[in-house]
Structure 1
Amino acid sequence: MTVSLDMTIGERIELLRRRRGLSRQTLASLVGYSSEWLRQVERKGREVDRLSTLLRLAQVLQVKDVAAFMGVAVPQDVVEQLTAEGEPDIRAALLGQRTAVSADAAMQSGDIARLRGEVNSAWASWHHSAQRYSLVRARLPGLLSRVYGCHAWHEARQALPLSAQVHHLASAFLHSSGELPLALLAADRALAEARQAGEALLAAACLRGFGDVLLRLHSPGQARELCVAEAHGLREHEGIASAEAAAERTWLYLTAAEAAAFQQDHHEAERLMDTAEELAQDVRGSELRHATPVTSVDVAAHRVRVEAVLGRTVRALRLAERVEEVEALHREGRVRFYLTLARTHLQVRNQSGAVLALMQADRDCGEEMRCNVYARHLLRQAISQDSVTVRRDLHQLAEKAGMV
């Protein structure tokens, strides 16, 4: 991709951003600035005076000639680092040029039905399969390629929700894999297409995924604000069954509570958790057709997570002991709970408890230690707290993770 040499750096950034399909808010979040800052860079000629920021922009925008883009000399080892790939097939599908679809190639109802079945199957694998990473990694590139023409299928507007679901799944996969810039890009597209389709419940789920990525990108304030605003909007939305609105609002408040915990706002984190718990009591799974199911077990497990983030480890461990029917959670939820438990044990230097929790996560998904970047981080922490009593178990986990 080339840009004119007589363009300002701001004009180059805007051109490349638009070609990559990134919103101004998404790109700004990825480099740690506000959308207003980026608007001033693009439109008002504000200088980007930090080399690290220019390098980050070049990385996110997938610039091949970094030196020409910035107008400075960049060491070759930095260029090589910038062009490293994590999930190449998925990366290529997300960042590749969207293919326009002619009217003759528009999807028929049967094609959409088949695609819907494949999307549902991919999500089921992510939530329930012990091989969820390998199965979803194999399916995502093809699904992304098939839904990228949705904006051109005038006769098949019903395909837009499927495109949103595929991008939402891509974001969840890339988030767990540690590919945060790509995860945010996928989440941004999922949210935009869900809203374009007029699917309020799906948009809420996609926004929650967007918020989860923002938390890992150290933007808890933005995540909290977006989730609370979306929850308020669902409460006032007409035409959505009360139980379904309550389910999605519960998930949004759970994410907002975790964001408040990352900000160390104890009072607000507790208030948001209480709100989520109260809402969850009004949700009956049998009444849900479109919303994401939520149970008291989901809320209890998330409360442990919030307490751990707040640093109240003793309380978190006490609450974890009271979480009943963990097996009622889907596989992804169980893994998340056990990783939270491992993290909490490590905070109090209880290596045996941490290793046991990691082994439980490995039991539920044998790919977790190898593919989940957060599980690998916890495993490294456990290894650093060396203890003879769990050394053998740690070695086995490290072998599964490919660390030895």
Structure 2
Amino acid sequence: MSPDATPDPYANPMAFGQRMQMLRERRGMTRQELAGLLGETQHWVKNLESGRTQAPSVETVYRIAETLRVRDLADLTGRPDMQFDLFIGPGHPRLAAVREAVDSFGLASSQQAPSAAHIAARIRRAWSARHSAPNHREVVGELLPGLIRDAQLAVKQAQAPADWRAAQAVLAEVYSLAQFFLAYQPDSSLLWRAAERSMVAAQQSDDPHTVGVSAWLLTQAHRDSGRSHYDAADAVNRQALALLEPLLADAGNDVLAIAGALQFEAGYTAARRGETATAWRYWDTARSMASRLPEDYFHPVTSFSRAIMGAHAVTVAVELHSGSESVRQAARSEANTIPSRPRRARHRIEQARGYHLDGQPEAAIATLNLAYEAAPETIRYNGYARTIVLEQAESKVTARRRRASELAVKIGLLAA
């Protein structure tokens, strides 16, 4: 078992508070830190863990699970009937085909590989399709197997050093595209294989932009693995920024954008740590870099742009668990200026999290409906959105419960 793996809660049945303490300690989090993120007192956490306070409401259980990054509610509650994975969505129908392509290297293939330039053109079309399609996972999942196999063959068959580096660059980008499909899928090891292979291929390509993109995604993979991986996320981020820093004075838009995206990721991780000043300092640096980009520029992988900075501000506020600041930033940001449908839906989900933190469940559900309209597959696979919808589907307010239940049916959480 890896050091940050969730222990088996059924090996030694225990009370809710004991499970909560065990999971908190596994994440390397103090009672004071957990209390601050939950908006409670350290005394409240201590009483809950020691059993002096009864198990909390369903709403509070969800908040604790989100804060501790618990994958399955049963791990926290000890109830097999509450086995629900908060941060992993249902397996996509195209997952098996993508997994087969990732796991097969075409070692015995006699097929002639397309040129790196040809594969790169197909990747550009794939990114464009991802940003414009409401069912973006379906579109990307259909394209990925062929792109992965052809990029692997291109590396294998490249003869000249320049051709080999170009092939490595397209292979790295294909694996980067794969990570967008694999996020929230029930195969975390496959996501890690894609992330690590992307970075290896990027380093072989010797292309700073390609390395930056792979580092951006690897940073996210580490951060989303739990608090014990935050240092690793920061290390990858720092190394990539150090590589790009000497190039920024004369950098083109893509290199400048990936450097800005990495600055924001550093702020994102700081926000997860609860480091308010550091998080906003990184966000401010990223905003300054975005201001150097053309007004209509939009990075095809990270979505970094002038338009995205408002959405990033909402994310920082939400991760700092500041409901009022989240709502303030949500009011200042404009989702309709984000050209990517899945990224626009993601922003709506972050806005909904802010309303939820601020005690505005009606606004949260309304905003999640906007996320669904932008990109149904984004909300269907997002753990935070699923948590809010399920919680409000049990609301005592009839109208709110009905609206949440209708959305839960649409995203596949409840039967029609």
TM-score normalised per structure 1: 0.72
| CA distance in structure 2 between the partners assigned to 1:194 and 1:321 by the alignment | 38
Cα 1:292/1:362, change in 2 over 3 Å: closer
Q: Is the 8 A contact 2:270 2:279 kept in 1?
A: yes
Q: 1:28 Cα deviation (Å)? A: 7.1
Cα distance per residue 1:41-97 (max 9 Å; x no partner)? xxxxxxxxxxxxxxxxxxxxxxxxxxxxxxxxxxxxxxxxxxx9873222222233x
217, 220, 226: which one pairs with 2:225?
Answer: 217
**Which residue is 2:281 aligned to?**
271
99, 122, 125: which one pairs with 1:121?
Answer: 125
**Which residue is 2:135 aligned to?**
131
106, 113, 136: which one pairs with 1:107?
Answer: 113
146, 153, 178: which one pairs with 2:150?
Answer: 146
Aligned pairs, number: 324
Q: 1:340 Cα deviation (Å)? A: 0.6
| CA distance in structure 2 between the partners assigned to 1:220 and 1:287 by the alignment | 30
**Which residue is 2:40 aligned to?**
none
**Which residue is 2:171 aligned to?**
163
Q: Which amino acid aligns with 2:197?
A: R
1:199 maps to 2:207: yes
Aligned ranges for residues 346-385 of structure 1 at < 5 Å?
346-385=356-395
**Which residue is 1:74 aligned to?**
none
Q: Which amino acid aligns with 2:313?
A: R
Cα distance per residue 1:78-126 (max 9 Å; x no partner)? xxxxxx9873222222233x22267x755354xx444333222222222
Q: Which amino acid aligns with 2:143?
A: R
Cα 1:273/1:163, change in 2 over 3 Å: same
Q: Which amino acid aligns with 1:119?
A: I
Aligned ranges for residues 202-351 of structure 1 at < 5 Å?
202-218=210-226, 219-237=229-247, 241=251, 243-284=253-294, 294-324=304-334, 326-351=336-361
1:173 maps to 2:196: no
Q: 1:199 Cα deviation (Å)? A: 1.6
Q: 1:203 Cα deviation (Å)? A: 1.4
Moved more, 176-185 or 269-278: 176-185
Q: Which amino acid aligns with 1:302?
A: H
| CA distance in structure 2 between the partners assigned to 1:178 and 1:162 by the alignment | 26
Q: Is the 8 A contact 2:175 2:194 kept in 1?
A: yes
| CA distance in structure 1 between the partners assigned to 2:313 and 2:386 by the alignment | 23
Q: Which amino acid aligns with 2:289?
A: L
TM-score normalised per structure 2: 0.70
Q: Is the 8 A contact 1:351 1:385 kept in 2?
A: no
Moved more, 309-318 or 276-285: 276-285
SS in 2 for 1:196: helix
Cα 1:292/1:137, change in 2 over 3 Å: closer
Moved more, 323-332 or 234-243: 234-243
| CA distance in structure 2 between the partners assigned to 1:359 and 1:289 by the alignment | 26
| CA distance in structure 2 between the partners assigned to 1:257 and 1:116 by the alignment | 31
Q: Which amino acid aligns with 1:100?
A: L
Q: Is the 8 A contact 2:127 2:300 kept in 1?
A: no
**Which residue is 2:99 aligned to?**
91
SS in 2 for 1:177: coil
**Which residue is 2:402 aligned to?**
392
Cα 1:201/1:125, change in 2 over 3 Å: same
Cα 1:210/1:267, change in 2 over 3 Å: same
Q: Is the 8 A contact 2:369 2:407 kept in 1?
A: yes
Cα 1:265/1:292, change in 2 over 3 Å: closer
Cα 1:105/1:90, change in 2 over 3 Å: closer
Cα 1:323/1:258, change in 2 over 3 Å: same
Cα distance per residue 1:206-233 (max 9 Å; x no partner)? 2111111222111222212321331232
SS in 1 for 2:390: helix
- % identical aligned pairs: 22
Cα 1:269/1:365, change in 2 over 3 Å: same
| CA distance in structure 1 between the partners assigned to 2:114 and 2:101 by the alignment | 23
- Considering only aligned residues, what root-mean-square deviation do their CA atoms show, in Å? 3.0
Q: 1:178 Cα deviation (Å)? A: 5.3
Cα 1:386/1:127, change in 2 over 3 Å: farther
**Which residue is 1:23 aligned to?**
none
Cα 1:191/1:385, change in 2 over 3 Å: farther
Q: Is the 8 A contact 2:198 2:214 kept in 1?
A: yes
Cα 1:325/1:172, change in 2 over 3 Å: closer
Cα 1:325/1:288, change in 2 over 3 Å: closer
Q: Is the 8 A contact 2:346 2:378 kept in 1?
A: no
| CA distance in structure 1 between the partners assigned to 2:206 and 2:316 by the alignment | 32
| CA distance in structure 2 between the partners assigned to 1:244 and 1:93 by the alignment | 29
Query: Which of the pair has the greater relative contact order for Cα pairs under 8 Å at 6+ separation?
Result: 2
Cα distance per residue 1:16-46 (max 9 Å; x no partner)? xxxxxxxxxxx979869xxxxxxxxxxxxxx
